Amino acid sequence: MNIIKPLIKKVVRSLNLSGISDPEQWLVDTFGGVRTATGTNITEITALRNTAVYACVRILSESLASVPFLLLRQEQKGKGTSHATDNPWYDILNSVANSEMTAFTLRETMMAHLVSWGNAYAWIERDRYQQPIGLWPLRPDRTWPERDPTTKVLQYKTVLPNGGWITIPKEDMWHIPGLGFDGLKGYSPIGLCREAIGMAQATEEYGARFFSNGARPAGILKHPKTLSEGAQKRLREGFEEKYTGLTNAHKMMILEEDMSYEAIGLPPEDSQFMETRRFQIEEIARIFRVPLHMIGDLEHATFSNIEHQSLEFVKFTLFPWAVRWEQSANFKLLGPIDRKTLLFKHSLAELERGDLKSRYDAYSIAINGGWMFPNEARLTDDLDPLPEELNTLRAPLQSLPADIAKAYWSSKITPKGDTPNA
């Protein structure tokens, strides 16, 4: 790679791409990515071959894409908000994103780009009246922000499949940057932590090679005589054919002509192979801030802590990502006038719901406390509303002052058969 990089930079200069931030990255990935200290090449694509990385990217992208991304209209003071279903963005981000994909697919793809490359890009398709009619995700490794050399206005370039590129004005691009130091482009978590991921890939490859040799370490085959190159080649090929691979594991080894076999190398248990693999899974989960039980590692999970860890995942992992999406959508997709009355907001309540008993206990407290209608609780659980009487707020009488309670019991509305308890 040290030889390739100067050639890549020369190509970049010849293509007049000097304004690109990290201009050679997409070309580096074309040549297989950056080689880590373990000897593995890691890119945002090849990293997905690791099960822990794939699980983390998948759980983050699916979780955020599965909750409603609401566009709310602020009503008059004191009247709350309503869903702005008449706005085109509502349908694009909750139903059909463009002519080829659903809103879920778009948001899942963009979230996967964001947690892998640190940036998510989508081209805004408009009709002849400049109204939005669709969003199309763009590859982050082939799209970048830059400033016009003359006007200094921010714009975007994206590489086309045929090798050319086009310039997209900022008004037609929705860019969500992740963590970065310039505020314009986010850093790739996989790029920054490629050594940790490379270590995980290396241990996985080591295990695969170990079992491909019949779960036996490498060894030396000794012969009492000096063999020619042809004899060595035939002996090696014949030995590998008969005694290596899982299909040949535990076969009886027969050696002729006073040959002997001596095993060398450390078996996996002596080199702490399993401990290394387990630690690398924890490392990758730490990078993406995903609880271990959510990616299939239940070693430290208990019945009492899984629910709390799941709620912490929503609060400390998904919530910051949701705020990043919401503020970016408010800034990029809404104009200054619309932002006064409209705002985007994720509905994370579905992910924060506890078990059935805890949820019903909370409904009971809210209804008896006098700030939630019984029908609202039914609608929250997707049940049809009951008669109009369930749209009446209740008041807890046990907390009333004594004189008011006495007046209530002595009034004409006291039910028959009840005895005043003043």
Alpha-carbon distances of 114 from 66, 111, 191, 329, rounded to whole Å:
16, 5, 13, 14
For 385, the 3-state DSSP assignment is coil
Strand partners, 260: 222
Torsion of CA 62, 316, 187, 330, to 10 degrees: 70
Within 10 A of 25 (CB to CB), how many other CB atoms are there?
22
Q: What is the pLDDT of residue 203?
A: 77
- Residues 263-293 pLDDT 10s: 655 555 555 666 777 778 888 999 999 998 8
Q: What is the pLDDT of residue 302?
A: 66
- Residues 98-115 pLDDT 10s: 999 999 999 999 999 999
Contact 98, 109 (CB under 8 A): no
Measured distance CA(348)–CA(334) in Å, rounded: 22
Which one-letter DSSP state was computed for residue 316?
I
Measured distance CA(30)–CA(351) in Å, rounded: 39
Contact 54, 48 (CB under 8 A): yes
In Å, the largest CA–CA distance within the chain is: 117
Measured distance CA(223)–CA(255) in Å, rounded: 10
Residue 283's nearest CA partner among 273, 272, 292, 271 is 292
Q: What is the pLDDT of residue 364?
A: 82
Measured distance CA(311)–CA(349) in Å, rounded: 11
* 109, containing H or E segment: helix 103-117
Strand partners, 125: 134
pTM of the model: 0.72
Residues 345-366 as b/e (b if ≥16 CB within 10 A, e otherwise) read bbebeebeeeeeeeeeeebeeb
pLDDT less than 70: residues of the chain: 1-34, 77-80, 206-221, 227, 232, 235, 239-258, 261-274, 301-304, 352-356, 381-385, 387-391, 395-406, 408-422
In terms of residues, how long is the chain?
422
Measured distance CA(145)–CA(183) in Å, rounded: 11
Q: What is the pLDDT of residue 1?
A: 45
Helix axes 319-333, 103-117, angle to 10 degrees: 110
Q: What is the pLDDT of residue 92?
A: 97
Give the angle subtended at the CA of 318 by the CAs of 317 and 321, to the nearest 5°. 100
Measured distance CA(363)–CA(14) in Å, rounded: 66
Measured distance CA(31)–CA(400) in Å, rounded: 76
Q: What is the pLDDT of residue 297?
A: 75
Q: What is the secondary structure of 132-152 as a DSSP string?
A: EEEEEEE-GGGEEEEE-TTT-
Read off the amino acid at residue 394.
R
- Strand-pair category, 143-147 with 119-126: unpaired
Read off the amino acid at residue 43.
T
Contact 118, 186 (CB under 8 A): yes
